[in-house]
Amino acid sequence: MSKAGLVMIMIMTLASSLSAQTEPVRKKYTISGHVKDSKTGEAMIGATIMLEELPQIGTASNAYGFYSLTVSEGTYTIITRYMGYTPFSQQVVMKQNVKLNIELLEKGVEQKAVVVTGEKKDENIKEIQMGMEKLDVKSIQDIPVLFGEKDVIKTVQLLPGVKSGGDGNTGFYVRGGAADQNLILLDEANVYSASHFLGFFSVFNSDAIKDVTLFKGEMPSEYGGRLSSVLDIKMKDGNAKDFGVNGGIGLIASRLSVEGPIVSDKGSFSISGRRTYLDLFLKLSSDSSVNRVRLYFYDLNAKANYQLGENDRIYLSGYFGKDVLGFGNTFGIDWGNTTATFRWNHLFNEKMFSNTSLIYSTYDYTVIANINGNNLNLISKIKDEGVKQDFQYFFDSENGVKFGLNSIYHAIVPGTATFADSAQTSTLELTNKYSWENAFYISHDYKLSPIISVQYGVRFSFFSVLGPGVFYTYDSKGDRVDSLAYGSGKFIKTYFNLEPRIALNYILDDESSLKASYGRTTQNLHLLSTSTTSNPTDMWIPNSNNVQPEIADQVSLGYFRNFEDNSYEFSAETYYKLLRNQIDYKDGAQIGVNENVESQLLFGSGRAYGLELFLKKKYGRLNGWIGYTLSRTELKFAEINNGNYYPAHQDRTHDISVVGIYQLSDKWTFSATWVYYTGNAVTFPSGKYRILEYNEVNYFTERNGYRMPAYHRLDLGATWQGERSSWTFSLYNAYGRENAYSIRFQKDPNDPAKTQAVQTALFKFVPSITYNFRF
């Protein structure tokens, strides 16, 4: 650790001294301020700020809209751009530090751009970051989705390198990573279960969301804790100038949002809620097997911010969501996430920005069953309490430094089951798990020359397994051989990992660049699930004496090229990723309510590699993109398939997404998406046998040796945009492809002497209509 850290510091010192030497001795001044939307006062993330006179120099506003640019004395024209907004330009005389808050005006509907925004026309060429996608939530609404519920995660799934979990699944796989290897943050709080309705919808109400950024390649050092990607979702601050109400009525759910200033231009709030109402219709049914069903979800997002003074702003944001599913008094399950984030932005001076966050997040579920007087009640919960401190230092126009720390205390209640009947009550309490996750990071953005820039950094992560608790050791058969009990606050084991990250951009010419990156990521919490779809009862477990941190090393190389005055963007990225300490399950593993769940796990390695091609048309009446991924993801476990490499469940050879949006007139927009991918790797039986005491039984010869049928689907959408309202029409699965949701092998009901394979397809032609309004 110390060695690599030292090298880092040396490089940084060297780098800044080099840049200092090459600069002329003219005095330098800083221009800084915030970038905001002129209508709503929302801080704008990732707006680019450039000087017309020095085109190679530029910066972008950070997550809170703050920018800072340091240049030599002189008179410049500052230009600020953001996709979908009219560029702003103003002359500034730099003979002292200048404070300039910039307000950008949104363009009219007819000039509106596509979903994936590039901030500057050639941003994809100049930006160091590779494998990063930003989504503009305002324009997601044009993409057709299931039941008309616009959903950021469903849109993310259309990007190259991101694979959808399939019908009825908000889980996604990034560059071969499993669904639990994505860090999903809502205003910096970890969201442990991002799905409603067992995966048909995500928990993110797009009315409450401002900005979505996905990192699928090298992730910047300020992020950590998951192996394959970061989905960083930021909630709307709320309109600081006017009160507004907007909402929507859809097939499945209704939404309502209220926003407005707390004190004009000083602070604002935003509250959004939504609820499904399928259950209200079910109640009307005369059939007692239908009207006793409870089936709904709701969620609430709220955020407020206030400017305390010239240099300080505070934010408070929260999310609360709940799913309820049940049948009369017989059976019920409810689950949900709660998050809360308090943030304090502070400007030490025009170059030094700081943010301090206090973060709280929980996910819990409760299952109840009541059959003939026997009651079963099961509760499980994961809770995070954390603090995050980030500093951003805008050194000069060539150098920027970010550093900070993140500390989270995790408490996991794996399961407390209470069993009761008329005579007695008994309780089974699995050992609670406590851990403390700490990380320190530093990263340096450095522009070596007008054509070469580098971003490098390191993250030091410490994960401590804490008492109280009982820790077991197991033999190879999975039988307990020893157990040790520790008291409260005792450190059982600390895992340390050093995560270097580096990204390089080499600009070939005005229209093309080469980018390369390397990054190591680690993961200390692991999701156990024996189903290929997301279940509310899937369980997170921390590292322990048996479970080690997962580690991934990824290298990637990309070529970026723009055509026809940057109106077409093309990129080709390749990656190779090595995975260590991956988790799979023993044959017939039992992971539900099991004190010895760690004895059911296997540990192995993996590798993922692939090529991603992306062509996007950004401007004009017709815009959209085509993404294609060719990839392979393989795992290697000594105990599975004789220790040979085998395809991971999410391994898909081909994956294609086509998105087209056509702006017919001021009022009408049409859209279509088409996806195709190779079926997931699955385990099918290769034979069968009979157990007389029971039944015919499937015989398996290898794990993931078969493929589901290829998946493809066309969705169509149309939006009518009025003055204060809009209508969205969509048709999901327009040509009615019966995509296999599952394939079951069973006895033929018509001929018990035979067996058969039965395919279930979920959605065939799902039309929907949504009405949106605002006033």
Partner 1 sequence: MKLLRHILIFLMIAACSGIFLSCQKVIDVDLNSSSPHIVIEGYISDQPGPYWVRISQTVNYNQPNTFPPVSGATVTLSDNIGNSELLTEFIPGFYMSSLMQGVPGRTYTLTVLSNGVTYAASSMMPSPVAIDYLLQNSFSFGMDNSKTVEVHFRDPAGIDNYYRFVEIKNGVQQQFMFLINDQLQDGNEITSTLFADEDTLRTGDSVSVQLRSIDKNVYNYFRSLSQVVSSSSSSTSPANPPSNLSNGALGYFSAYAVRTKFIIIQ
Q: How far is the CB of 664 from partner 1 (least distance, A)?
A: 27
Among positions 242-281, residues that touch partner 1 (CB under 8 A) are 278, 281
Pick the binder of partner 1 from 77, 101, 329, 760 (CB under 8 A).
760
The continuous run of DSSP H or E covering 124 comes out as helix 123-126
What tokens does 548 get?
């080690």
Site mask for partner 1 (CB under 8 A), range 539-578, x = bound: ----------------------------------------
Q: Residue 756, interface with partner 1 (CB under 8 A)?
A: yes
**Please, where are the H alpha helices in 348-421?**
none
Q: How far is the CB of 655 from partner 1 (least distance, A)?
A: 19
Q: Residue 587, interface with partner 1 (CB under 8 A)?
A: yes
Nearer to partner 1, 83 or 378 (CB): 378
Distances (CA, A) of 364 to 336, 346, 385, 465, 485: 6, 34, 15, 21, 26
Among positions 715-754, residues that touch partner 1 (CB under 8 A) are 738, 740-747, 752-754
Q: How far is the CB of 493 from partner 1 (least distance, A)?
A: 28
Stretch of residues binding partner 1 (CB under 8 A), selected from 87-95, 109-117, 289-297, 505-513: 289-297
Residues 6+ positions from 113 with CB-CB distance below 8 Å: 83, 84, 136, 139, 618, 619, 623
DSSP bridge pairs for 460: 440, 498
Q: How far is the CB of 420 from partner 1 (least distance, A)?
A: 10
Distances (CA, A) of 746 to 140, 645, 648: 42, 29, 25
Q: Could you write out the DSSP letters of every residue in 550-619?
A: EEEEEEEEEEEEEETTTTEEEEEEEEEEEEEEEEEE-TT---SS-TTGGGGEEEEEEEEEEEEEEEEE-S
* Nearest one of 612, 514, 628, 509 to 563, comparing CA atoms: 509
Q: How far is the CB of 585 from partner 1 (least distance, A)?
A: 5
Q: How far is the CB of 302 from partner 1 (least distance, A)?
A: 29
Matching residue, tokens 């055509």: 563
The Cα 719–Cα 721 span in angstroms is: 6
Nearer to partner 1, 356 or 594 (CB): 594
Pick the binder of partner 1 from 509, 692, 723, 775 (CB under 8 A).
692
Pick the binder of partner 1 from 696, 712, 725, 771 (CB under 8 A).
696
Nearer to partner 1, 101 or 531 (CB): 531
Q: Residue 335, interface with partner 1 (CB under 8 A)?
A: no
Stretch of residues binding partner 1 (CB under 8 A), selected from 62-70, 458-466, 614-622, 762-770: 762-770
Nearer to partner 1, 11 or 743 (CB): 743
Q: Residue 287, interface with partner 1 (CB under 8 A)?
A: yes
Nearer to partner 1, 344 or 474 (CB): 474
Coil vs helix vs strand at 495? strand
Q: How far is the CB of 576 from partner 1 (least distance, A)?
A: 25
Pick the binder of partner 1 from 128, 143, 333, 504 (CB under 8 A).
333
Residues 6+ positions from 762 with CB-CB distance below 8 Å: 167, 168, 739, 741
* Nearest one of 140, 174, 141 to 157, comparing CA atoms: 174
The Cα 583–Cα 635 span in angstroms is: 10
Nearer to partner 1, 168 or 467 (CB): 168
Q: Residue 396, interface with partner 1 (CB under 8 A)?
A: no
Nearer to partner 1, 45 or 325 (CB): 325
The Cα 675–Cα 626 span in angstroms is: 10
Among positions 590-619, residues that touch partner 1 (CB under 8 A) are 590, 592
Q: Where are the beta strands (DSSP E) in 82-238?
A: 85-86, 88-94, 98-99, 102-106, 132-136, 162-164, 172-174, 182-186, 189-190, 195-196, 201-202, 209-215, 229-235
Pick the binder of partner 1 from 529, 567, 653, 725 (CB under 8 A).
529
Among positions 15-34, residues that touch partner 1 (CB under 8 A) are none
Q: How far is the CB of 332 from partner 1 (least distance, A)?
A: 10
Nearer to partner 1, 121 or 649 (CB): 649
Among positions 370-389, residues that touch partner 1 (CB under 8 A) are 371-374, 376
Cβ atoms of 37 and 106 closer than 8 Å: yes
Cβ atoms of 755 and 696 closer than 8 Å: yes
The continuous run of DSSP H or E covering 120 comes out as none
Q: Residue 685, interface with partner 1 (CB under 8 A)?
A: yes
Q: Residue 710, interface with partner 1 (CB under 8 A)?
A: no
Nearer to partner 1, 259 or 323 (CB): 323
Q: Could you write out the DSSP letters of every residue in 541-552?
A: EE--SSPPPEEE
One-letter amino acid at 196 equals H
Distances (CA, A) of 653 to 161, 606, 619, 629, 753: 11, 16, 31, 8, 37
Q: How far is the CB of 325 from partner 1 (least distance, A)?
A: 6
Nearer to partner 1, 385 or 639 (CB): 639
Burial class (CB in 10 A: 0-12, 13-18, 19+), 26: exposed
Matching residue, tokens 């799934």: 157
Q: Residue 282, interface with partner 1 (CB under 8 A)?
A: yes
Among positions 198-237, residues that touch partner 1 (CB under 8 A) are 198, 200
Nearer to partner 1, 12 or 608 (CB): 608
Nearer to partner 1, 496 or 699 (CB): 699
Q: Count CA within 13 A, CB hemisphere, residue 9.
A: 5
Q: Residue 459, interface with partner 1 (CB under 8 A)?
A: no
Pick the binder of partner 1 from 22, 96, 289, 488 (CB under 8 A).
289
Nearer to partner 1, 68 or 380 (CB): 380
Q: Residue 642, interface with partner 1 (CB under 8 A)?
A: no
Among positions 75-94, residues that touch partner 1 (CB under 8 A) are none
Burial class (CB in 10 A: 0-12, 13-18, 19+), 488: exposed
Pick the binder of partner 1 from 196, 216, 501, 703 (CB under 8 A).
703
Pick the binder of partner 1 from 509, 695, 724, 775 (CB under 8 A).
695
Q: Residue 496, interface with partner 1 (CB under 8 A)?
A: no
Nearer to partner 1, 264 or 530 (CB): 530
Nearer to partner 1, 115 or 367 (CB): 367
Stretch of residues binding partner 1 (CB under 8 A), selected from 16-24, 41-49, 286-294, 303-311: 286-294
Matching residue, tokens 């394939």: 743
Q: Residue 644, interface with partner 1 (CB under 8 A)?
A: no
Distances (CA, A) of 224 to 193, 287, 580: 18, 51, 16
Among positions 418-437, residues that touch partner 1 (CB under 8 A) are 419, 421, 423-424, 426, 428
Q: How far is the CB of 683 from partner 1 (least distance, A)?
A: 5
Q: Count CA within 13 A, CB hemisphere, residue 255.
A: 25
Q: What's 146's DSSP letter?
A: G
Q: Residue 763, interface with partner 1 (CB under 8 A)?
A: yes
Residues 6+ positions from 743 with CB-CB distance below 8 Å: 682, 684, 708, 757, 758, 759, 760
Q: Residue 54, interface with partner 1 (CB under 8 A)?
A: no
Rounded to the nearest 10 degrees, how much is the dihedral formed by the CA atoms of 162, 389, 238, 138?
A: -20
Nearer to partner 1, 201 or 441 (CB): 201
Pick the binder of partner 1 from 95, 242, 701, 720 (CB under 8 A).
701
What tokens does 758 get?
């039965």
Nearer to partner 1, 383 or 707 (CB): 707
